A and B are shown apart, each in its own frame.
Chain A
Amino acid sequence: MAVTQTTEPDSVLAKALKEGLIAGALALGLFCLVVGFRTEQNIRNELILTHRWGLLTIFVLGAAILRFVITYTAPLRAERKKIKRAVAVAKEPSAFRRSFPKIGLGLLLLYPLLVILILSAYQGSMMGGLQASLKYVDNFGIQILIYVMLAWGLNIVVGLAGLLDLGYVAFYAVGAYSYALLSTHFGFSFWLLLPMAGIFAATWGVILGFPVLRLRGDYLAIVTLAFGEIIRLILINWTAVTKGTFGISGIAKATLFGIPFTPGPTGFAALLGLPNSGVYYKIFLYYLILGLALLTAWVTIRLRRMPIGRAWEALREDEIACRSLGINTTTTKLTAFATGAMFGGFAGSFFAARQGFVSPESFVFLESAIILAMVVLGGMGSLVGIAIAAAVMIGGTELLRELEFLKLIFGPDFTPELYRMLLFGLAMIVVMVWKPRGFAGSREPSAFLHERKMISGEFTKEGHG
């Protein structure tokens, strides 16, 4: 850096041009065969070589220009960073950052109404707005909030207690199947089964917790991973009860304290004298999952100020010291597993009620990995950071479906959502390089004597299982 700063602008330009050309040449070498050529089978099963020079040009130019811009602006950025560092000696969190949770909460509460209003204005009719909002409330709102809730639940286990759990989706599955089975066989209502699903999942959390009490780090991760797979395989193979890969369909919908969301005369719309629409159920589900997610957040915030929450965090920092202070680490770990699993169970039963259909395909390891990625990207232990990570990751993949203009660049058969995993990986690498402790790298203390100071992530530990 020091060298580039002292050099003349001309030489910076020359250097940037050179590096850009090199990057372009490298990209050409790398992508020439991978992107530039393509083999297809024609109707007679013959391989036909096609060229994609345009796409290759885009790749090469992209790499060259990106490298050029990065190198050219490097001295500038270094300068700016220096100034920033000099200015930001005692940086207080800005007013926006401090009130961010409140603003976010307000937005979440108003989100369906805002969507309907905007779309109604856009479409010119109230009914058209309602119908069009279905996608935004369901695909974006509900989908994101389910993951926010799951990530907040896993945060108790991973972020607070520092126990690396790779099989969290198992509890989600237990919750979903408890609701699906008990409601189809016994006809219990959603409001009875919601707490029951939580209790079942928590029981499974304790069952998983016992054998892994002595395990730490990698070993714990492997056993929890295996646990997740075991649950999934049971769901697939215990066909007498779970119907295997066919899944359970026709699961009863949730009701608003007994009022069903059906088009009939006793339905929600008819009772309120509203025109029939599927939107009401979606909006109801949105507020339901928002309430459940906020319950998770509230409980987490309260628990952190309880002795058990502090014991979880102490356990993450140093287990031996915990034992020397008279903390029963066995029960502490089990409560962490059980509490985390319980929220996973709630989310699962909600998921079953929303989909009306569950099958083992929804509970694969990838789901666990995604939820864990949200916790890690968001910053372990930070609710706001995790919510942002969940919104970005789930909302981002949903947005990919909308990006039609990408087809203009990459050709008509380009399906952006197929690149979801690639983008996930890239996003994780970028965030981990840029902010190794996640979006919210600091920890809020649970108690204070003089003033509440945020604790920098460099002091907190990730836990060792």
Chain B
Amino acid sequence: MISEVQKNASAILRVERLSMKFGGLIAINDLNFEAKRGAITALIGPNGAGKTTVFNCITGFYKPTEGMLTLTRQNGEEYLLERMSDHVITKRAKVARTFQNIRLFSGLTVLENLLVAQHNPLMLSSGFTILGLLGFPTYRKAAADAIEKARFWLEKINLVNRADDPAGDLPYGAQRRLEIARAMCTEPELLCLDEPAAGLNARESADLNKLLLDIRAETGTSILLIEHDMSVVMEISDHVVVLEYGTKISDGTPDTVKNDPKVIAAYLGVEDEEVVELIEKAEEAGVDDITAAVDLLSTEALHEIEETHPDAKPVELIPASTLVETPAAKAPSARKAPAKPASSKAGAPAKTGVIKAGATSNALAEPRGGKPDPLILIKGIGPVNERKLNEHGIFHFDQIAAWKKADVIAAEAYLAFDGRIAREDWIGQAKKLAKESQAKPAPKKTGGAK
């Protein structure tokens, strides 16, 4: 791998065996990748994967524990970034960056922000302040040029009209753009963007895509970006590197990465052993598309339920027909969010009178006597959960009172609660309320609803 990387002369940045440890925590572990000159390279991965740490190593804010970061400039000069301090990296190696949480000079005007970015050339032309202080014409000309350059970038990011306003007064999207323009004013050869689309709406991130492609086309700047917004990553990047727990798990064009089972597993969130199994199975079956992977994962999760709750009967819990399509949603042990869309997909066609998949054992098609009990009287059940319970055929206190362990698990699965039913003693509350409602048919609404 390393030798292969070294041969490639078109790389602007080579990251070799990069490791970063904070005490016992390994943030980056033996990372190798390269960013090609003139290309847009995306660095993606789940939260906490170490992406920003990689950026901080590249831009000199952290000193890596091990590894080599080689930057090759257009003129052939090579810089070892891990040996340089942060401001020298920007000044000599021509690497500029933006920050995840915007770091503008909020009390300076938009124009001044762009002038501060041109500090080093201006410093030279002002003869390290002395000539400038005495009013030499060289500085006056350089200052005018700097303002012209700032105007060029302001036109690019559509902020010419607000040039004299304080940067802190700009709307969020404009601040993001200004930060990119400010980084570009240092004339970088490698631009590192840390989540440039975070907090932008769809239109703004489309504009951002255009701006980034524009920057690359006009200045030939290579771009390295961290991003969570897949519309940005997949649309504009030429190359994607995927990190998880500080290790590279995939590397390639957006399409290959998108279909890499390891990446899917990382984003869906499964146990490590499961990933290995998953890959093996996927290879056996000869399928590597997303549905097959999800299928396999879901089956895994279901088996797990059977093992951990032997008294729960999965056949009762979930109709067999829905098993293949939506099982992950019903599994309390399927850890992460991506399971949700699947469940809602399955839930959508369910109409009144049709009991939803995953219903409890004593579900009813309709409330007895056409009138459901006010379930919100039970502490912990709000209007939303009441509706969900109704959709799943639970209308009466006595139904909840009669729940068994398996029912509780099933109900928790579709309410997306874990352990709350037992903790808040819904069954006990329901028993009491059921008795009360028998005594007086129309219970007064107390403060039970949350």
Contacts and interface: CB of A to CB of B under 8 A. Distances in A.
A296 to B, nearest CB: 13
Nearest to A302: B133
Contact of A314 (B105, B132, B160, B165): B105
Nearest to B179: A321
Contact of B129 (A308, A449, A450): A308
A459 B164 contact: no
B60 to A, nearest CB: 8
Interface string B146-165: 01001100100000100111
B112 A453 contact: no
27 contacts: A305-B143, A306-B132, A307-B119, A307-B126, A313-B108, A313-B112, A317-B106, A318-B104, A320-B61, A321-B99, A323-B61, A324-B90, A325-B90, A325-B116, A325-B119, A327-B116, A445-B112, A446-B115, A447-B143, A447-B147, A448-B163, A449-B154, A450-B163, A459-B106, A459-B107, A459-B169, A460-B107
B357 to A, nearest CB: 52
A310 B163 contact: no
B239 interface: no
A307 B122 contact: yes
A317 B107 contact: yes
Interface of B: 59, 61, 86-91, 96-97, 99, 103-109, 111-112, 115-120, 122-123, 126, 129, 132-133, 139, 143, 147, 150-151, 154, 160, 163-169, 182-183, 186
A321 B105 contact: yes
A311 interface: yes
Please give me the 9 A-B residue pairs with the lowest Cβ-Cβ distance, nearest first: A460-B107, A326-B90, A317-B105, A449-B163, A326-B91, A307-B122, A321-B103, A459-B168, A459-B166
Given A306-B126, A318-B105, A325-B119, A449 B151 contact: yes
A337 B122 CA distance: 21
Interface string A74-98: 0000000000000000000000000
B168 to A, nearest CB: 4
Given A306-B129, A310-B115, A461-B107, A325 B123 contact: no
A448 B119 contact: no
A324 B129 contact: no
B87 A328 contact: yes
A459 B87 CA distance: 26
Contacts of B96: 324-325
A243 interface: no
A151 to B, nearest CB: 21
Contacts of B61: 320, 323-324
Contact of A453 (B122, B132, B165): B165
B211 to A, nearest CB: 19
A324 B86 contact: yes
Interface of A: 299, 302-303, 305-308, 310-311, 313-314, 316-318, 320-329, 335, 443, 445-453, 455-456, 459-461
Contacts of A452: 164
Secondary structure at the B interface, as helix, strand, loop or mixed, is helix
B119 A453 contact: no
A443 B119 contact: no
A325 to B, nearest CB: 5
Nearest to B120: A326
Nearest to B89: A326
A443 B107 contact: yes
Which of A321, A448, A460 neighbours the largest number of chain B CB atoms within 10 Å of its CB? Answer: A321
A451 B162 CA distance: 10
B111 A448 contact: yes
A308 B126 CA distance: 10
B164 A326 contact: no
A30 B246 CA distance: 66
A449 B169 contact: no
A303 B128 CA distance: 11
Contacts of A323: 61, 86-87, 90
Contacts of B117: 325
A324 B164 contact: no
A311 B164 contact: no
Given A308-B123, A449-B111, A450-B164, A326 B105 contact: no
A437 B30 CA distance: 50
A445 B164 contact: yes
A129 to B, nearest CB: 41
B87 A327 contact: yes
Contacts of B167: 459
Given A302-B133, A323-B86, A447-B111, 8 more contacts: A307-B126, A308-B123, A310-B119, A324-B59, A324-B97, A327-B120, A445-B109, A460-B107
B133 A303 contact: yes
A455 B109 contact: yes
Contacts of A311: 116, 119
Contacts of B139: 306
Given A324-B59, A447-B147, A306 B164 contact: no
Contact of A310 (B106, B112, B151, B186): B112
A306 B125 CA distance: 10
B87 A326 contact: yes
A327 B90 CA distance: 9
A313 B123 contact: no
A325 B105 CA distance: 12
B144 to A, nearest CB: 10
Contacts of B122: 306-307
A214 to B, nearest CB: 13
A311 B133 CA distance: 15
Contact of B112 (A322, A325, A446, A451): A446
Contacts of B147: 447, 449
Contacts of A325: 87, 90, 96, 116-117, 119, 182-183, 186
Contact of B119 (A299, A327, A335, A447): A327
Contacts of B119: 307, 310-311, 325-327
B133 A299 contact: yes
Nearest to A324: B97
B107 A455 contact: yes
Nearest to A332: B119
A316 B107 CA distance: 9
Nearest to A381: B107
A324 B89 CA distance: 9
Contacts of A307: 115-116, 118-119, 122-123, 126, 129, 132
Contact of A324 (B99, B123, B151, B160): B99
B268 to A, nearest CB: 35
B107 A321 contact: no
A305 B86 CA distance: 25
B108 A314 contact: yes
Contacts of B164: 445, 448-453
A317 B108 contact: yes
Interface centre among A306, A317, A325 (most CB of B within 10 A): A325
B104 to A, nearest CB: 7
Contact of B115 (A316, A447, A453): A447
A464 B147 CA distance: 29
Contacts of B132: 302, 306-307
A321 B89 CA distance: 13
